[in-house]
């Protein structure tokens, strides 16, 4: 019997895609312009290729620190960065992402419905912000109030998803077993595989309003494109 629904946050309950897209564009342009002042700096194509390669490798390690990614990019091209400037750019980056984060239109309504039937929790990764307790979810008290447990993995000694620890910690706090929970998330590796590896049934949300290229994987797991499709959870969790 399903007793609890566990949710990811970004691109699951809220849409930050446009904010990340804008913040990444600004960051890349700033870093390249800074490097371009060096006569031995890269051209744009070289820079973009290495930037994307370094960012992908960092994300695959579940390391989302923009400062770390940017420092690695500078090191790749043998350019010494101004650390204070990078820290300010990182602050600007997260301020933009936060300002462009909005709940999906159906989120509050769906949570209101689900909370009458299930215990609700959030397991989300920190995005590499400099300080703890600074996750975007704090900006949305109208969402926070629905969740009995909120786990921000990647801070306070909790490893980031897909490590099993944040999933197990959430189950422990709820005092339920893995078979009594369903996890809803958008990221195949971090959310879906992470939950599945600890025995939690995942539901893959590929929200219709999020502009991204979803991984091309073959799976029998339920895939939904709106949160209100969770209303028939009995069928989804077969």
How many angstroms separate the most distant Cα atoms in the chain?
65
Q: 182: number of CA atoms within 13 Å, CB side?
A: 23
Nearest to 233 by CA among 11, 9, 7, 5: 5
Residue with tokens 């920190």: 126
Q: Looking at residue 238, what DSSP letter applies?
A: -
**Which residue, among 208, 169, 215, has the nearest Cα to 190 in the 3D structure?**
215
Confidence (pLDDT) at 22: 97
Residue for token digits 């801070």?
155
Identify the pLDDT of residue 142.
93
Q: What is the pLDDT of residue 62?
A: 85
Amino acid 58: pLDDT = 93
Query: What is the pTM for the complete model shown?
Result: 0.89
Classify domain 4-15+102-236 at the CATH superfamily level. HAD superfamily/HAD-like (3.40.50.1000)
| pLDDT tier for residue 134 given thresholds of 50, 70 and 90 | low
pLDDT higher than threshold 70 for residue 158: yes
Per-residue pLDDT at 163:
96
**At 236, is the pLDDT very low, low, confident or very high (cuts 50, 70, 90)?**
low
Bridge pairing between strands 14-15 and 102-103: antiparallel
What pLDDT shows up at residue 234?
63
pLDDT tens digits, one per residue of 168-219: 999 999 999 999 999 999 999 999 999 999 999 999 999 999 988 899 999 9
Q: What is the rounded average pLDDT of the residues 25-37?
A: 92
Read off the pLDDT of each residue in 49-66 and give the average, rounded to a whole number: 93
Taking residues 31-56, report their average pLDDT: 89
- Rounded Cα–Cα distance for residues 191 and 183 (Å): 8
């Amino acid at each position: 019997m399903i007793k609890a629904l566990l949710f990811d946050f970004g691109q699951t309950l809220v849409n930050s895609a446009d904010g990340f897209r804008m913040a990444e564009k600004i960051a890349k342009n700033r870093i390249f312009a800074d490097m371009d002042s060096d006569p031995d700096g890269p051209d744009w194509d070289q820079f973009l290729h290495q930037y994307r390669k370094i960012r992908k490798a960092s994300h695959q390690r579940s390391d989302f620190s923009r400062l770390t990614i940017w420092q690695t990019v500078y090191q790749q091209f043998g350019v010494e960065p101004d650390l204070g400037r990078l820290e300010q750019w990182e602050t600007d980056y997260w301020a933009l992402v936060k300002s462009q984060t909005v709940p999906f239109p159906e989120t509050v309504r769906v949570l209101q419905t689900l909370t009458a039937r299930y215990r609700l929790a959030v397991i989300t990764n920190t995005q590499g912000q400099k300080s703890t307790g600074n996750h975007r979810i704090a900006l949305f008290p109208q969402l926070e109030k629905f969740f009995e447990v909120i786990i921000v993995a990647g801070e306070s000694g909790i490893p980031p998803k897909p490590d099993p620890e944040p999933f197990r910690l959430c189950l422990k706090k709820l005092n339920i077993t893995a078979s009594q929970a369903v996890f809803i998330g958008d990221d195949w590796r971090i959310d879906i595989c992470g939950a599945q590896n600890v025995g939690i049934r995942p539901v893959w949300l590929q929200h219709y309003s999020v502009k991204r290229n979803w991984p091309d994987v073959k799976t029998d797991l339920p895939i939904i494109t709106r949160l209100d499709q969770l209303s028939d959870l009995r069928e989804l969790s077969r």
